[in-house]
Amino acid sequence: MDELIGALLFLLWMGFNIYTAFKKRNKEAANRPTPTPQHKKQQPRTESTFDEIVREIRKAAEQKKEPARPPREPATVSYGEEKRRSILAEKERMRAERYKQFVEDQRATEHDANIRQSGTNADNSDTESYAGADFNVDLRQIIIADAVLNRPYK
C-alpha cells in the first residue's frame, strides 16, 4: 500500500511539473514580439529565363550548321583482297590444327613415360620392401584392431 501511495505522489509531481512548464512556455511566447513579414519588391517580369536560354541555343545551332556531307559509298573488296584474306584464314586454321596435334602428341608421350616410370618403380619397390620382412601375422590381433577402428560412434 505504501508503494502505491509513493507511485501516486510521483505521478502527481510529474504532472504538476509538466503543467507549469507548459504555462511558462505559453507566457514567454505571448510576451515575445512577433516578427512582421517584410514585403519583397516584386521584380517586373520581362520574359522567362528558360525561353531566353532556348533562343540562345537555337541561334548558336543555326550559326554552326555544317554543310551536308555526301553519302559514303560502300566499301568494295577486290577479288585479290578477298583471295588474300581467305588464304590468311586458311593458314591460320592450318597453324591451329598443327598446334593441337603437337599438344596431343606431347601429352601422349608424357603419359606413356609416366606409365613406364611408375611401372618400373612399382616392381623395384615391391621386391625391395618385402625382401627383409618377416611374415608372421597374428590374425587375432588384426581382427581386434579392425573392430576397434570400425566401432560405431556414440
In tens, the pLDDT along 52-100 reads 888 888 888 888 776 667 777 776 667 777 888 888 889 899 999 999 9
The DSSP secondary structure of 111-151, one letter per residue, reads: HHHHHHHHHHHHHHHHHHHHHT------HHHHHHHHHHHTP
Q: pLDDT band at residue 133, thresholds of 50, 70 and 90?
A: low
Query: Could you list the residue range(s) of the whole structural domain that residue 102 is in?
Result: 80-128
Domain presence at residue 6: no
* pLDDT computed for residue 111 by the predictor: 82
Question: Is position 90 within any domain?
Answer: yes
Q: Please, what is the average pLDDT of the chain?
A: 79
Residue 93 lies in a domain: yes
Report the domain count for the chain: 1
Which pLDDT does position 46 carry in this prediction? Answer: 59
Question: What's the pLDDT tens digit per position in 65-78?
Answer: 766 677 777 766 67
Q: How far apart are CA 80 and CA 20, in angstroms?
A: 104
115: confidence class by pLDDT, cuts 50, 70, 90: confident
Position 117 in a domain: yes
Q: What is the pLDDT of residue 17?
A: 92
Domain for residue 137, yes or no? Answer: no
101 assigned to some structural domain? yes
In a domain, 9, yes or no: no
